[in-house]
Amino acid sequence: MRLSSPFIFASNSVTRIMIWVVLALIPGIVAQVIYFGWGVIINAAIAIASALLFETLILSLRKRPVAPSLLDGSAIVTALLLAISLPPLTPWWIPFVGTGFAIVIAKHLYGGLGYNPFNPAMIGYAMLLIAFPKQMTAWLLPVMLADHPLTFSQLLQYSLHTHLPNSLSLDAVTGASPLDLVKTQTRLGQTIPMVLEQSSNRFGSLAGIGWEWINVWFLVGGLVLMARRIISWHIPLAMLTALIVMAGIFYLIDPNLYASPLFHLMSGATMLGAFFIATDPVTAATTVKGRLVYGALIGVLLYIIRQWGGYPDAIAFAVLLINMAVPTIDYYTKPRVFGEGRGN
Amino acid sequence: MKQPLSTFFGGLHLKGHKTDSMRQSPKVLPLAKQLVFPLDQHLGQPAEPVVKFGDKVLKGQLIARRGGPISAAIHASSSGTVIAIEDRPINHPSGMQATCIVIETDGEDTAVDSNHFADYYNAEPAALRDTIRDAGIVGLGGAGFPTFIKLTPTTGKAIETLILNGAECEPYITCDAMLMQTRALDVLRGADIICQAVQAKQCLIGIEDNKATAIAALHEVLQAQQFRHPIEIVTIPTIYPTGGERQLIKVLTGHEISARQRPMDVGLVCQNVGTAVAVADAVLQGQPLIERLVTVTGNGIKTPGNWLVRLGTPLRDLLAPHDIDCRRHDIIIGGPMMGFTIDDTQAPVVKTTNCLLIQTRQVAMPAMPCIRCAECANVCPAQLLPQQLYWHARARDFDKIQDYNLFDCIECGCCAHVCPSHIPLVQYYRFAKTEIWNRELEKQKADRARERHEFNLLRHELKKQEDEERRRKKKELLNRAQGKTESETDSKKAAIEAALARARAKKEAMAVAPKNIDQLTEEQQKQIDAAKARRRQHEQDKV
């Protein structure tokens, strides 16, 4: 019996939210499979298995009931988000170590679900990027551009034994992402139109073959989450608007040096970040105004790091850095209480 | 309506579950053998009994008078004998007992003589308020605040509008809807009387749009009858908690009344439709508040409906026709959003008992950690941050929690209703409020004790000073009586000083004098020398 009212409840639960997040990720994952092969599925399988393993382990160590936490689905979502962010061609221990770090260090050492100040998946990603830059920066070329697209079994071979077919070298199957290409080439003194022309086969119609469609499908998934009221529109809209504004200003200043807003919007992990990573409720701002500020700050920082930082993409660092500001943002964006501050 | 309807932030669209208990018109519950009247069944001070054991009482007779400025009188709801004034279970979530007057009914139901206003149109507002006060009327919407206090102007601001609350926004409860349907004339007359009592210019009756029959019934009477004050029936959207006083005022007038303000501050008075009928009964019939409509419903009840129940009737009597098993069912007093469960069905129906909700007991979903999704903030009609309140309540950080305006919380339960982690949020807020009240009380006690102690110290100090002063004065008086002046005492002092000085000088002179080998006579010297010589001789012999 409940001690206190209310006695009726909306049929919502943490598990339901997590299930919807997983479902909404599917279109983007499918697009990733289409353009970069089965690597993401292999990574996801390894990451989810290790997430469940680590979650069970750490919950037993913490003497907490295991079943409710495993069933809430949060570990699976963390694993899936990390797996999507990883390069499709990667040794098995990359998702394993990354997930372990995310679950044990970023989530449970801070107190478990709901208590972690930083997005666990992005902590895992950032750790891997810093500790294993070689494995983390080798992205496969899109399937349609590769001379020898890797099959499922070849990818699995690489994952388990770090072994490519004899005829292929790592350099032959991987290549810089469009974001990377634009960044390095402009630093070498080339203008953006020149880069685009030279690598016209890489930059489809918007922002790079493969990437643009993956972004479109993550956008679709995100809109589904919004329609289901799993996430609110504030963070994605603020973040994407800030990115467009930042990119737009510099694009207007010098289109030879700065890529267009559309390019930024549709490349890298922009849509995944806007709808699935920045919106993680645990680590995001919670007030309405706070969410707008939080999203906008991520958008600004994303552009700054992409443009002037050391990494081609910056979702993880932008989100993690703004995660730190969340308590302050929430404190200064408290809503007006009913009846207060209207002078009546 | 002169202005368009306003909306309030948050709230919920809930399933009403109201039709089942609206199928039949209210039935009259047979008179109970025993009637139990808790002295504390309204907000404010408990009432004081004016009857004693063995007294015969009549229906409508005063049995307990107001126990303070904020209090309400209690009347016997049928005739009989007072058989006890003792602690009995009351309907309170803690299952506590409290002093009750128990009357054994005689079945005669003899009423006291009553006097009533033939013409309330021209009655003095104060006289109407006194009648309402003496009839023991309290807010029947649930809070139980003595009605006459809300009708007594204190701000000097003229009352513009009476707002009659017929929203009844909680699911399952239908007693107000049924009352409006079956006693539309008295609802409107009651409104007219209250308008007269507070000198309001107009009355707005706010009713949620899921009560079409009630709205139609009121419209019909409004068109057929003449009333002194303009009365308007306003259909409002069904959103929980529109029936909250401040929410209803916002919807009808656009005014936002903060937790630190009263509706009166902006020229409004808000009353429940049930209260209006009670007022009509008191003023037009001379009948004090002795009965009310109670909804008995829920999935544990086969024939849900409304009952006209005498106040004091044990809940047991209301549940008797139904097959209720306390182990399988939860018995909830009030609605599913703000009500509370009770265990003891001996507790009586009181003035504020609007609904008995019998639900099959469900296993409560275990609370999961808060994932900060802010769903709670999206539905909070007070525009608070429920999850921040929750964190601070958990951490017992009672200063911080007040920074987040805990006391603006109206405990409507919207936040807990939508929480995906099934956290019993309202329970945390009630806990924090109680803790803060207790601390405030402790602090007041401690302050009083400290003040008392400090006052004691001060009193002692003053007494000492007074004694000192008195002694000094006494001495002075004594001196004066002996005829000595100040200078005389001074010369006396000088004389003493001089004597002392002389004595000191003498003593000093004496100190150097005595040594018994000076000033010896010749003979004495010879004798000493001889003795010394003998001693020397003696010593030489020994060697």
Is residue B142 domain-shared with residue B288, that is, in the same domain?
yes
State the smallest CA–CA distance between residue B342 and chain A in angstroms.
10
A3, B427 Cβ separation under 8 angstroms:
yes
Residue with more model confidence, A142 or B214: B214
Question: Is A211 a domain residue?
Answer: yes
Question: Is A158 a domain residue?
Answer: yes
Boundary (domain end) residue, out of A151, A175, A199 = A175
Is residue A196 domain-shared with residue A84, that is, in the same domain?
no
Is residue B341 domain-shared with residue B372, that is, in the same domain?
no
Query: Cβ B377–A13 below 8 Å, yes or no?
Result: no
Is residue A188 domain-shared with residue A139, that is, in the same domain?
no
**pLDDT for residue B511:** 61
Element (H, E) at B38: strand B34-38
Question: Is B95 a domain residue?
Answer: yes
Is residue A283 domain-shared with residue A300, that is, in the same domain?
yes
Q: With cut-offs at 50, 70 and 90, classify the pLDDT of residue A343.
A: very low
Query: Cβ B371–A281 below 8 Å, yes or no?
Result: yes
* Structural domain span for residue B213: 20-359
Residue B492 in tokens: 């006396």
Residue B314 in tokens: 């044990």
Is residue B424 domain-shared with residue B353, that is, in the same domain?
no
d(CA A58, CA A60): 5
Of B384, B387, B432, the residue nearest B410 (C-alpha): B384
> Starting at the edge strand that comes first in sequence, how are the strands of the sheet with B74-75 ordered?
B48-49, B62-65, B74-75
Q: What are phi and psi of A161, to 5 degrees?
A: -120, 5
Of B387, B390, B386, the residue nearest B408 (C-alpha): B386
Mean pLDDT score of chain A, rounded to an integer?
Answer: 89
Burial of B366 (0-12, 13-18, 19+ CB in 10 A): exposed
- DSSP-assigned beta bridge partners for residue A99: none
Question: Is A261 a domain residue?
Answer: yes
Boundary (domain end) residue, out of B309, B339, B359 = B359
Question: Is A338 a domain residue?
Answer: no
B59, B337 Cβ separation under 8 angstroms:
no
Boundary (domain end) residue, out of B480, B500, B530 = B480
**pLDDT for residue B337:** 93
Is residue B296 domain-shared with residue B438, that is, in the same domain?
no
Helices (H), chain A: 14-36, 39-61, 66-71, 74-85, 93-100, 120-131, 133-137, 152-161, 170-173, 178-187, 192-198, 211-227, 234-253, 261-266, 270-272, 288-308, 315-332
Can you say how many angstroms the Cα of residue A194 is from the centroid of all Cα atoms in its chain? Answer: 30
Strands B74-75 and B268-272: unpaired
Indicate which CATH number applies to the domain containing B186: 3.40.50.11540
User: One-letter amino acid identity for A121?
Assistant: A
Is residue A139 domain-shared with residue A234, that is, in the same domain?
no
Question: Is A198 a domain residue?
Answer: yes
| pLDDT of residue A299 exceeding 80 | yes
Of B35, B73, B42, the residue nearest B315 (C-alpha): B35
Is residue B292 domain-shared with residue B208, that is, in the same domain?
yes
B266, B255 Cβ separation under 8 angstroms:
yes
Question: Is B533 a domain residue?
Answer: no
3-state secondary structure (DSSP) of residue B141: coil
Question: Is B15 a domain residue?
Answer: no
d(CA A252, CA A261): 10
B364, B155 Cβ separation under 8 angstroms:
no
Boundary (domain end) residue, out of A120, A152, A175 = A175
- Give just the sign of the alpha carbon dihedral B380, B382, B388, B394: negative
Is residue A268 domain-shared with residue A148, that is, in the same domain?
no
Is residue B462 domain-shared with residue B372, that is, in the same domain?
yes
**pLDDT for residue B139:** 92
B14 touches chain A (CB under 8 A): yes
B331, B345 Cβ separation under 8 angstroms:
yes
Query: Cβ B385–A286 below 8 Å, yes or no?
Result: yes
Q: Hey, what's the torsion of the CAs at B281, B286, B291, B295, to 10 degrees?
A: 0
Question: Is B304 a domain residue?
Answer: yes
Indicate which CATH number applies to the domain containing B412: 1.10.1060
Is residue A160 domain-shared with residue A207, that is, in the same domain?
no
**pLDDT for residue A267:** 87
Question: Is B402 a domain residue?
Answer: yes
B37, B63 Cβ separation under 8 angstroms:
yes
Average pLDDT value for residue range A315-334: 95
Secondary structure of B188-226 in HEC code, one letter for each residue: HHHHHHHHHHHCCCEEEEEEECCCHHHHHHHHHHHHHCC
Is residue B310 domain-shared with residue B383, that is, in the same domain?
no
| pLDDT of residue A317 exceeding 60 | yes
Is residue A90 domain-shared with residue A217, that is, in the same domain?
no
How many H-runs (helices) and E-runs (strands) does chain B carry?
Answer: 15, 17
Question: Is B534 a domain residue?
Answer: no
Is residue A166 domain-shared with residue A192, that is, in the same domain?
no
Element (H, E) at B342: strand B340-342
Question: Is B532 a domain residue?
Answer: no
Full DSSP string of B299-319: TT-SS-EEEEEETT-BHHHHH
| pLDDT of residue A49 exceeding 90 | yes
State the smallest CA–CA distance between residue B316 and chain A in angstroms.
20
Is residue B199 domain-shared with residue B276, that is, in the same domain?
yes
**pLDDT for residue B248:** 95
A308 touches chain B (CB under 8 A): no
A162, A229 Cβ separation under 8 angstroms:
no
d(CA B317, CA B31): 9
**pLDDT for residue B31:** 93
3-state secondary structure (DSSP) of residue B36: strand
Is residue B344 domain-shared with residue B378, that is, in the same domain?
no
B112 touches chain A (CB under 8 A): no
Question: Is A342 a domain residue?
Answer: no
Contacts of A62 (CB under 8 A, 6+ apart): A108, A112
Is residue A161 domain-shared with residue A213, that is, in the same domain?
no
Boundary (domain end) residue, out of B459, B480, B501 = B480
Please report residues of A whose CB lies closer than 8 A to that of B425. none
Query: Cβ A286–B387 below 8 Å, yes or no?
Result: yes
Q: With cut-offs at 50, 70 and 90, classify the pLDDT of residue A150.
A: confident
**pLDDT for residue B517:** 64
Is residue B335 domain-shared with residue B387, that is, in the same domain?
no
pLDDT per residue of chain B (543 residues) written in tens, 0 to 9: 456 889 999 999 999 999 989 998 999 999 999 999 999 988 889 999 999 999 999 999 999 999 989 999 999 999 999 999 999 988 887 778 899 999 999 988 888 888 777 778 888 889 999 999 999 999 998 788 999 999 988 877 889 999 999 999 999 999 999 999 999 999 999 999 999 999 999 999 999 999 999 999 999 999 999 999 999 999 999 999 999 999 999 999 999 998 888 898 889 999 999 999 999 999 998 899 999 999 999 988 888 999 999 999 999 999 888 878 777 888 999 999 999 888 888 899 999 999 999 998 887 788 889 999 999 999 999 999 999 999 999 999 999 999 899 999 999 999 999 999 999 999 999 999 989 999 988 999 999 899 899 999 999 999 999 999 999 999 988 888 876 555 666 777 888 888 888 888 887 776 655 556 666 778 888 888 888 888 888 877 765
Nearest to B424 among A4, A16, A72 (CB): A4
State the smallest CA–CA distance between residue A139 and chain B in angstroms.
34
Question: Is A340 a domain residue?
Answer: no
Please report residues of B whose CB lies closer than 8 A to that of A7. 330, 332, 336-337, 339, 341, 357, 359
Query: Cβ B418–A337 below 8 Å, yes or no?
Result: no
When divided into structural domains, chain A yields a total of 2
Boundary (domain end) residue, out of A127, A159, A175 = A175
Is residue A164 domain-shared with residue A32, that is, in the same domain?
yes
Question: Is B14 a domain residue?
Answer: no
Is residue A103 domain-shared with residue A197, that is, in the same domain?
no
Is residue A139 domain-shared with residue A211, that is, in the same domain?
no
**pLDDT for residue B484:** 59
| pLDDT of residue A2 exceeding 60 | no
Secondary structure of B398-463 in HEC code, one letter for each residue: HHHHHHCCHHHCCCCCHHHHHCCCCCCHHHHHHHHHHHHHHHHHHHHHHHHHHHHHHHHHHHHHHH
d(CA B388, CA B227): 49
**pLDDT for residue A302:** 95
| pLDDT of residue A214 exceeding 80 | yes
Is residue B372 domain-shared with residue B297, that is, in the same domain?
no
Please report residues of B whose CB lies closer than 8 A to that of A344. 255-256, 266
* Structural domain span for residue A304: 176-333
Is residue B114 domain-shared with residue B250, that is, in the same domain?
yes
Residue with more model confidence, B537 or A222: A222
When divided into structural domains, chain B yields a total of 2
Question: Is A274 a domain residue?
Answer: yes
**pLDDT for residue B323:** 78
